[in-house]
Amino acid sequence: MNEQIQKLLNNLIQLEHVSSTLYLAMSNYMNRLNYKGMGSWLRLQSEEERTHMLKLIDYLVDRGGTVELSSLPAQPSEFGTPLETFQKVLEHEKFVTNSYRQAFQFINQANDPQTLVIVQDFLREQVDEEAQAQTIVDRLKIAQNNPAAIFILDQELGQRKAAPAGGAAAQG
């Protein structure tokens, strides 16, 4: 395997690992504030990011590459209001999308069609990831500080189910 592509894949593995821990920290925070539905939604998001990480690890190993797991940065324990928390989710998903977009461009130039397909699958999924986060942000903005509206949205987000293996998560 091309050394630069191996490094790039290890960077994407790290990105997914950090994403998983970030969303787990956000889940814990929302649960502490008694937004159990939002906490559940974020926990499932954390699990989904971990699944992405494992998929990249398996792919790298299958291609004969070396996985290099780096230490993780500490995550915050406070994220603000539900709106501020989900604005951070949206911002992070946009960062992830941009990271995969840059990886796609590099891999395309390196002429590695198998890796290009894997990265393209993640890029395609990022459309849904950003759309879900944007919808939640928009709905929290509509709710403003209305406790009843936020409570209803919290209940709705708590209905999200885990994604089937290899698939995108059901919207919540």
Annotated binding residue at 91?
no
Annotated binding residue at 17?
no
Annotated binding residue at 109?
no
Annotated binding residue at 126?
yes
Concatenating the DSSP letter of every residue in 79-132 gives --SHHHHHHHHHHHHHHHHHHHHHHHHHHHHHT-HHHHHHHHHHHHHHHHHHHH
CB neighbour list of residue 32: distance below 8 Å, 6 or more residues apart: none
What is the spatial distance between Cα 1 and Cα 117, in angstroms, rounded to a whole number? 16
3-state secondary structure of 155: helix
Binding residues for Fe cation: 16, 49, 52, 93, 126
Binding residues: 16, 49, 52, 93, 126
